[in-house]
Amino acid sequence: MKVDDLIVYGKSKVHSDLAKMLLADLMDINSLELLTILDREVSSDIEKEYKFRVDELRKGRPIQYIIGNVNFCGNILEINENVLIPRFETEQLVVNTVEKIKELWPNQSIDLIDLGTGSGAIGLSIKKKLPNVNVTLLDISEKALEVAKKNATNLNINVKYILNDMLENLANKYDVIVSNPPYIKTNEEIEDIVKNNEPHLALYAGDDGLDCYRKILSHVKENINNKYLIAFEIGDTQKEDLYKLAEEFLTNYNIECVKDFSSRDRMIFIWNK
Ligand SMILES: C[S@@+](CC[C@H](N)C(=O)[O-])C[C@H]1O[C@@H](n2cnc3c(N)ncnc32)[C@H](O)[C@@H]1O
């Protein structure tokens, strides 16, 4: 079949932009280039794989898992079903955390840990932007850490890895703790495409959605240096809960909630006075 015929086939089953993305990815070109070769014959192997992928997409598998990578903060990260698909909102956590680090420790070499790193999205992006920062990636999932390691290798980045339940029994101290932990309530309604495809270990955090924040903050004093920064992504209704948790477990600190581009409360920064 020709490129044009395959696009027509894909469009009859899924959104035309996604059909083009799938075919372009298989042919190792971008969707615009695809439109310049509409008459080209496609090999039977690619045709077969394309039809399989269109079917996967039609059945509700996210395109990011089908293609196997995402662009996050300008870096291509490999992903699979063992890790959360990195979100646009999390890029804003990276940008804001980098700014805070620059303010608090201008040009200094500091130690940072990314708790619940998944694909490594946050920690690796920060390391790319601030090569002086010593980065550790931590996750409770061995399979997620494997993905993070693959991404670090692909990006030629040198970081440390820890397989652990957040800060439980961890002796090391850090200047910066950054995390986008699971924060969805056990009974919360979420989109089917998320619930049916992404790892529940990456999504759910107990009846009030706060289990991971509680777990981190209850230990955090033993794992932070005198001068510290804690940066969290949060659900858009969790600001007050996080303010209360900070009050419960920390003293003498500054706290700031930052909104995302949709004006929702999505990031919390805590640093010492
Ligand atoms: C919401 S995902 C975030 C992944 C990645 N940081 C991102 O922003 O795309 C949360 C991650 O936390 C990990 N996780 C869940 N519970 C954990 C725990 N108790 N200790 C360490 N990691 C945990 C999950 O395996 C998952 O990779």
pLDDT given for residue 65 in this prediction: 98
Q: Both tokens of residue 15?
A: 């959104």
∠ CA(49), CA(82), CA(206), 5° rounding? 140
User: What pairing do the DSSP bridges indicate for beta strands 111-115 and 174-179?
Assistant: parallel
Start-to-end CA distance of the chain, whole Å, equals 66
pLDDT digits (tens, 9 = 90+) for 166-218: 999 999 999 999 999 999 999 999 999 999 999 999 999 999 999 999 999 99
Assess whether the C-beta atom of 120 lies below 6 angstroms from ligand 1: no
Q: Is the CB of 202 under 6 A from ligand 1?
A: yes
> Distance (Å, rounded) from C-alpha 92 to C-alpha 87?
9
**Which atom of ligand 1 is nearest the CA belonging to 166?**
20
Helix axes 3-11, 44-58, angle to 10 degrees: 10
Compute, in angstroms, the gap from residue 165 CA to the centroid of ligand 1: 10
Helix residue ranges per DSSP H, 110-238? 121-129, 142-154, 192-195, 200-203, 211-223
State whether the beta carbon of 81 lies less than 6 angstroms from ligand 1: no
Predicted TM-score of the model (pTM)? 0.95
Q: Relative to the CA of 141, which ligand 1 atom is closest?
A: 25
* Cα–Cα distance measured from residue 158 to residue 219, given in angstroms and rounded to the nearest whole number: 27
State the Cα torsion 246-264-93-73 to the nearest 10°.
170
Ligand 1 centroid – CA 138 distance (Å): 8
DSSP-assigned letter for residue 41: B
Q: For residues 257 and 239, give the distance between their C-alpha atoms in angstroms, rounded to a whole number.
A: 7
Walk along the chain (273 residues) and give the pLDDT tens digit of each residue.
999 999 999 999 999 999 999 999 999 998 899 999 999 999 999 999 999 999 999 999 999 999 999 999 999 999 999 999 999 999 999 999 999 999 999 989 999 999 999 999 999 999 999 999 999 999 999 999 999 999 999 999 999 999 999 999 999 999 999 999 999 999 999 999 999 999 999 999 999 999 999 999 998 999 999 999 999 999 999 999 999 999 999 999 999 999 999 999 999 999 996
250 phi and psi angles, rounded to 5 deg: -130, 160
